Amino acid sequence: MKAISETSLLLQAQRASQVCALLWQRGGIAAEPAADVFAAMPLLQNGLLQPISDNEYLDTPIAYTLTAPLLTAFSTLSLLGEWQLALLGLNPSFREHWLRLAAARCREAGNMRDPQMLIKIISQLGNASAWVLEELEGTSRNPQLCTGPLSDLEHELIGHSLHDNAALPALLRILKASYQLTGFAERSAHESDFTITSLPPIDPSAKALDNNWCAKRLLAIPYSLLNQTKPNAAWLLTECGSSSDTSSHLTLFTTQPWLFLLSLLVFVQDAWAAEQRDSLLLVLPSNQNAFSPTEISVVVQGIEGDEVNVGNLAAFLLALLNNLNISLYPKIPDTHDLNRALAPFIANLLSHQIWQFKEGGRNEAGLYSINSDFGDACYSLPLAPIFSYRSARLQQAIKQTARDIRAAKLINIQGSGL
């Protein structure tokens, strides 16, 4: 009977892990395969997967996408396989043997003269040490280091069974990530602040731009950084066409979300300057090619002309997306990598005459701004709707992000006595 139970457990875990791999590679999964995951890990329905629903049937999800907690969990792990096992750990039946292994490791380390090994294990477990302590206190048997029902799957996913000595760091990381995800899911089930509402699918026509860029949406990082992932353009904001397509600005903006975001940035820059309040400067440091910048500096200029450098363009965009509650898929890139990936977009914006560059004078940096012809086009059809009410939330967020970073920088400057 036990063999049948373990076989059934392994088959369910194998199927669920396969779907989790697809979930990671595409950023989301359709509702039908998601059902297999929910059967194995019901907690994933508690705020850990974002439902995508047809506008006509908002109560019936057609797909599910990743959420920030799942993306954060991945960033703490070394391999996709570890992430798959961490998700399986949401099911007490799957993680039961792993807790026994961790308990055995703790008992083994506790018998050593030097307490440092035990301290290290507990530290790496983080709050998941509560699970292990419960296992140590609640079992009458001595936990053993032996293979479990999922050992074949463990070996397939990470190259080791989790009872192996070499797999101890992975075991601790997996349990820690599972504990954190379990805690988030349990809070989501009981607290109204964590309630997840469905998002509509991506509208490729630009008629619902505000819905496309809504909170909790995923934005795929630039294509050059995506590696082996292939985001689903029906559910995620991602590049889904050629940036060299010059048929229309609308086509460009609906198929190239990073180009749209950068275009909106210079539109806000221009509109903000016209208000004669704060203003935004996009500065190219010296000895750089305007069509292939290594790094663009973002400067906020106050009403009285005082200038505060709020960081580079990549860092500013990351802060902006965080304020919009839009997560980057599959991970938050290093600012150096993102700045490098943005360079081809800058070249496209200049060649499409959306941005323009003005060389600085002697000892002055050059500046990027909106191309005057494109700026005029933003106030007339067909661009007026997407640069007015359909992107109002985005525009406000750009201004607020700039003001917030500027205020924080000024506090730091004043605090340092400079």
Contact 311, 298 (CB under 8 A): yes
Cα gap 232→286, rounded to integer Å: 39
Over residues 194-222, the pLDDT tens digits come to: 667 899 999 988 888 889 999 999 999 99
Over residues 247-263, the pLDDT tens digits come to: 689 989 999 999 999 99
Instruction: Please report which helix (H) or strand (E) contains residue 67, including its range.
Output: none
User: What amino acid is encoded at 164 in this protein?
Assistant: D
Supply the DSSP string of 243-271, one letter for each residue.
TT--S-HHHHHHH-HHHHHHHHHHHHHHH
Rg (C-alpha) for the chain, rounded Å, is: 25
Which two three-digit tokens encode residue 104?
A: 């055995």
Closest-CA residue to 310 (of 296, 323, 324, 322): 296
Cα gap 327→354, rounded to integer Å: 26
User: What amino acid is encoded at 338 in this protein?
Assistant: L
DSSP, collapsed to helix, strand or coil, labels residue 338 as helix
- Report the DSSP pairing between strands 297-301 and 307-312: antiparallel
Contact 398, 268 (CB under 8 A): yes
Integer angstrom CA distances of residue 92 from 86, 98, 182: 12, 10, 10
All residue ranges of the chain with pLDDT < 50 are: 1-3
Contact 139, 97 (CB under 8 A): no
Amino acid 416: pLDDT: 61
Residue that is written with structure tokens 């792990």 in the block: 77
367 φ/ψ angles, rounded to the nearest 5 degrees: -130, 140
Cα gap 2→4, rounded to integer Å: 5
DSSP, collapsed to helix, strand or coil, labels residue 73 as helix
Contact 95, 175 (CB under 8 A): yes
- pTM for the structure as a whole: 0.93
281 φ/ψ angles, rounded to the nearest 5 degrees: -115, 135
Contact 43, 185 (CB under 8 A): yes
How remote is the C-alpha of 347 from its chain's centroid? 26
Q: Within 13 A of 175's CA, how many CA atoms are on the CB side?
A: 29
Sign of the Cα pseudo-torsion (187, 193, 198, 204, in order)? negative
Cα gap 415→282, rounded to integer Å: 26
As beta bridge partners, residue 219 has 237, 328
DSSP, collapsed to helix, strand or coil, labels residue 298 as strand
Amino acid 1: pLDDT: 34
- Reported residue count of the chain is 418
Which two three-digit tokens encode residue 351?
A: 């060649």
Integer angstrom CA distances of residue 299 from 278, 341, 406: 10, 21, 9
Within 115-226, residue ranges assigned H as helices are: 116-125, 129-138, 151-158, 168-190, 209-212
User: What amino acid is encoded at 158 in this protein?
Assistant: I
Contact 226, 330 (CB under 8 A): yes
Q: How many helices (H) and strands (E) does the chain have?
A: 16, 10
Instruction: Reply yes or no: is the peptide bond before residue 330 cis, omega within 30 of 0.
Output: yes
As beta bridge partners, residue 152 has none
